[in-house]
Structure 1
Amino acid sequence: MTKIMPMFADHADQVLEIYGLGIDTGDATFEECAPDWSVFDAGKLPAHRFVALDETTGVVLGWVAASPTSKRPVYAGVVETSVYVHPAAFGRGVGRALLEAQITSTEAAGIWTIQAGIFPENTASLSLHTTLGFRTIGTRERIARHHGQWRDVTLLERRSRMVD
């Protein structure tokens, strides 16, 4: 069984380890290494970040976090999401449960758009987001170099049906 709960500093080591495993795949992010906890913590909105715990062991199976997209007040209802699952927990519905929890929390807070930027090669993440109501809004072609290669990023968004 999996339990979804808010992310706290107690989860830092496991969250950053899972982030590092995602980085190692080469298809999760442009980042080359996970930041330290203080940097990670400062960039994520506390009310919209969660971990999935194995209820038996208490081990973190994955995490989701939202970041503001702009400091301008007009964009206060727009966030960018990141979701990472430990490879040992792939295929167990962890990513879906995490993203669903974040959708619920953001809608309750009046956030009207969740954005995601995903490498086209990350088909599992694209499928997950699409299943939960995200739509593709475009591709940023050759937006940046990653390990010496130009990479595209697929942009997705989910507009809340609860926030007018």
Structure 2
Amino acid sequence: MSIPHIRLMVDADWGAVERIYALGISTGSATFEDSVPAKSDFFGAKIPELSLVAEDADGTVAGWASASPSSGRAAYRGVVEHSIYVDPGQSGRGIAKLLLQALIEQAGIHGYWTIQSGIFAENTPSRALHLKMGFREIGYRERIAQRASGPRAGEWQNTFLYEIRL
């Protein structure tokens, strides 16, 4: 398989983005979301220049990354929180690394100064990738939220906080 091309996410990518997001939600280890938001809510919450997809030569979207403002306060205008999702059938190809590299680059180009993320404690591959890419582990939140539904319904989640300064 060829190395995926990273490009900006467009409206036409929604079907693939939604499918990959739903697969991530189904694991119970990727997000506190219980369902994929409506397309308009998803795109409305994301920063367009930091919404990316990894696309194979045949046009198949293999993963995506996005970022949202961390706060509505002006003082935090350069701080974003990001997410990365890869189709489980595409794992092991370095797609998450390519997406994270591109996201870091685009954030710097567009004047953002900090990228942060909360990652579930058991998501060791994502935690390791973030450290490898220069993120710092800055905190640990124990029993931060309880799952309402899905394969981990009723369980308390612990998260680690990561950030990178650009």
- Which bin holds the TM-score, normalised by the shorter protein? over 0.9
CA distance in 1, matches of 2:36, 2:123: 19
Using structure 1 for the length normalisation, give the TM-score: 0.95
Q: CA deviation at 1:69?
A: 0.6
Q: CA deviation at 1:20?
A: 0.5
CA offsets, 1:119-163, max 9 Å, x none? 010011111111110111011110100110111111000111xxx
- SS of the aligned residue for 1:138 comes to strand
Q: CA deviation at 1:109?
A: 1.3
Partner of 1:65: 66
Partner of 2:44: 42
Q: CA RMSD in A?
A: 0.7
Percent identical across equivalent pairs?
48
| Alignment of structure 1 residues 123-162 onto 2, 5 Å | 123-146=124-147, 147-160=153-166
2:117 aligned with 1:116: yes
CA offsets, 1:6-35, max 9 Å, x none? 000100010011000000111000111111
CA distance in 1, matches of 2:94, 2:53: 13
Query: Residue type matched to 2:67 in 1?
Result: A
Query: Residue type matched to 2:117 in 1?
Result: A
Partner of 1:78: 79
- SS of the aligned residue for 2:29 comes to coil
2:7 aligned with 1:5: yes
Query: Residue type matched to 2:133 in 1?
Result: L
Equivalent residue for 2:53, pick from 48, 51, 54: 51
Using structure 2 for the length normalisation, give the TM-score: 0.94
Partner of 1:91: 92
CA offsets, 1:78-100, max 9 Å, x none? 00010000001101010010111
CA distance in 1, matches of 2:53, 2:139: 29
CA distance in 2, matches of 1:139, 1:92: 29
Total equivalences in the alignment: 159
CA distance in 2, matches of 1:30, 1:74: 27
Query: Residue type matched to 1:124 in 2?
Result: P
Equivalent residue for 2:26, pick from 24, 27, 40: 24
Query: Residue type matched to 2:104 in 1?
Result: I
Q: CA deviation at 1:118?
A: 0.4
CA offsets, 1:39-87, max 9 Å, x none? 10001000111000111x2110000000001111110010001000000
Query: Residue type matched to 1:72 in 2?
Result: R
Q: CA deviation at 1:110?
A: 1.5
CA distance in 2, matches of 1:37, 1:127: 30
